[in-house]
Amino acid sequence: MAETPNQRDLEDGIQRDFSRSMSYGDYLRLDTLLAAQQPLSDPPQHDELLFIIQHQTSELWLKLMIHELRSARALLRSDDLSPALKRTARIKHILHTLTDQWSVLATLTPSEYAEIRPFLATSSGFQSAQYREVEFLLGNKNPDMVDVFSHDEAARTTLAELLHEPSLYDEFLAHLARQGYAVPLRLLDRDWSQPRTSDSELVDLFASVYAAPAEHWGVYETCEELVDVEDAFQQWRFRHLQVVQRVIGHKVGTGGSSGVDFLRRALSLTFFPELYEVRTRIGE
């Protein structure tokens, strides 16, 4: 019996000529995308490409997360709960992907990073406008962050708008109120630029939901999806902290922050405080 060659022949119907039709590279604009990695190290350092690609891909995932968060927020505003939950589920998986990819950057040793750090100058992930958009959309509002982007008018304008708009959680509470739940009025008409603090009456409301899940299934499911998102976000934050500590120890960050200590303080921030406080009440 003749041996089969170790190859797969192209089928007759497979497109071969793209002189007049759109190719995969055309659709994705790969000529632009793959030309965006421009290392600055001189002499060239092997690991700078890793550092650039790690952060560029993170920005692409952040772009998608913003797209999904804005859509979920709009759907809640129109009381269209089911597709809003679909969006939040996708956000959760994006966060898992972002967390997993820190493992690639963790292969960068302190000695290797020291070779490329001088070429970063004062640039830092702290200056990611898209990351701040995500935090503002989730409810972590900080007016001081807007001024960080005074050099970028488009980013500053976007953040200033989000600062004064309801977050995803704010729209969820407004949705609950329209469904007849006793959401305190002070939570429905407030200064959206201020970060939320826990409200005991809202904890009471969620306690009643968790006491009878079957009677409040849509609300119950949404609460758990939001907790999933925050849990995934915190895992991303923590993994970031671990990798930074592993690579630079307790050095000051390139953007001027205290580095690891600054990142550690972010772990105490919460987007949905009542959804965590209610857990102490369940079963009492």
Q: Which residues are annotated as a binding site for heme?
A: 240
Radius of gyration of the chain (CA): 23
Residue pair 54/104 in contact (Cβ under 8 Å)? The answer is yes
* Longest distance between any two alpha carbons in the chain, whole Å: 82
Q: How many of the other CB atoms lie within 10 Å of CB of 188?
A: 14
Per DSSP, 218 falls in state H
Binding residues: 51-55, 113, 117, 240, 254
- Between CA 82 and CA 43 the distance in angstroms is 54
Q: Are the C-beta atoms of residues 237 and 265 closer than 8 Å to each other?
A: no
Cβ density class 129-159: b for 16+ within 10 Å, e for less: bbbbbbbbbbbbbbeebbebbeeeeebbebb
